[in-house]
Amino acid sequence: MTIWTLDPSEKQALLARFLRYVQVDTQSDEDATCFPSTEKQKDLARLLVDELQALGCADAVMDEWGYVFATVPSNLPAGHPAAGKVPVVGFLAHLDTYAGTPGGGVKPQLIQAYGGGDIPLPATGETIPMATNPALARCVGHTLVHADGTTLLGADDKAGIAEILTMLAWLGRHPEFLHGELRVGFTPDEEVGRGTEHFDVAAFGAQYAYTLDGSDLGEIEDETFCADTAIVTIKGHDVHPGYAKGVMINAARVASAIVEGLALDHLPETTAGRESYLHPFDVKGDVTKAEVKLLVRAFTEEELHAREDALRLVIERVEARFPGARISMEIKESYRNMGYKIAEDPKVLDFAVEAVRRQGLEVVRKAIRGGTDGSRLSFMGILTPNVFAGGQSFHSVQEWVSLEWMAAAVGVSIQLLSVWVEGSEA
């Protein structure tokens, strides 16, 4: 069994790519109605098209929506047992960074041979504490990258992008390494839940794919939340507050009562693992009208509907407290647990598990308390589990990544290509 490792120059090239990408502001916008939600995501897309073409992907292109697609043809000789049998396999990562934390003007900070302990953030005087970042203990001696404390880093998911480009560069230097056809895709607006909105499945041409968008070393994520968004709209009645007794219906107070009425044991800050939650993430309005947006998350559709029913019960109770208030709720489907689809054709997962093992790593199968583009793509016809990319403390000014874990993700990606060839030889 061969473990594919990057030599020092390849690791430095991986680091240089990552540092280049994180300094391009690609923050998406939760409230935008256009696609992509921010034009600046196309700045990175255009850069990646140029780099892909330089690596030999002659068909690399950014389409009108900001998606970047490219092909690496199969190099299996005609007499090979798997020639013509290996399905097209995709590798995907997303361009945008989280909408809720500043993502422009990133100032990457480099730690060579990390010695342990809390990591100071120079711009704020705060730290990345080991106490809340247990993965740091596993990265002593590694090269670490973080931001200065004023922005996120962007490892989610520019680490994945850099790893995919590094894999393609490695393939170009090793023409003797046999593989089937690869399709590469970089998607906008994943962080705002719209990453596959204009994704052309037929044009991508892969039945199986992997997002490099996970976290810990050796991690494979084959389940995601089932996810909906609940939008609760409250209409009240405004009058002069000096003459409001018995007349005013304060929509802002009604909204507050709904949030306060949520069960404490089903909030994101009180749950973990496979526990479901309701998360009020946006509350706005005034006396006349208010709106509460809530994320509804659970690993099964039954649990998801149970959380929505719990919200309806809260609304009924609040309506009884505020006669005359008109409260409506709209449920918008976001995505469903990819595990439902992967279970129908599990080799895409089995091959990922085997690739991690061949790279000499412990396999960590995990259910994501969130979602990726792979959630929707799995229901659109491309089975797409998630593979680790190495980043930690996503969406936070404490975000960091290990270069060694990024290099290991490249190795696992290369292993995947071998496993698919071998799995197609029969």
Say how many C-beta atoms besides its own lie within 10 A of residue 346's C-beta. Answer: 14
CA angle, 178 as apex, 343 and 6 as ends, to 5°?
Answer: 90
Active site residue 96: yes
- Residues 375/341, Cβ–Cβ less than 8 Å: no
Q: What single-letter amino acid sits at 67?
A: Y
Q: What single-letter amino acid sits at 380?
A: M
Residue 369's nearest CA partner among 386, 391, 345 is: 386
Q: For residue 122, what are the CA distances in angstroms to 25, 106, 276?
A: 20, 13, 37
How far is 371 from 193, CA to CA, in rounded Å? 8
Active site residue 228: no
C-alpha 146 chain-centroid distance: 18
How far is 415 from 413, CA to CA, in rounded Å? 5
Residues sharing a CB contact under 8 Å with residue 245, sequence separation 6 or more, in sequence order: none
How far is 190 from 28, CA to CA, in rounded Å? 8
Which SS3 state, helix, strand or coil, does residue 96 take?
Answer: coil
How far is 110 from 145, CA to CA, in rounded Å? 5
C-alpha 179 chain-centroid distance: 27
Which SS3 state, helix, strand or coil, does residue 95 take?
Answer: coil
CA quadruple 397, 126, 215, 18: dihedral, nearest 10: 60
Catalytic residue, from 190, 219, 308, 354: name it.
Answer: 190
Q: Kindly provide the residue ranges of all beta strands, DSSP E only, lying in 289-363, ordered along the sequence.
A: 289-298, 326-335
CA quadruple 35, 38, 43, 44: dihedral, nearest 10: -80
- Residues 193/307, Cβ–Cβ less than 8 Å: no
Residue with token string 């969406």: 395
Residue 138 tokens read as: 């596993």
Question: Annotated active-site positions, please?
Answer: 96, 190
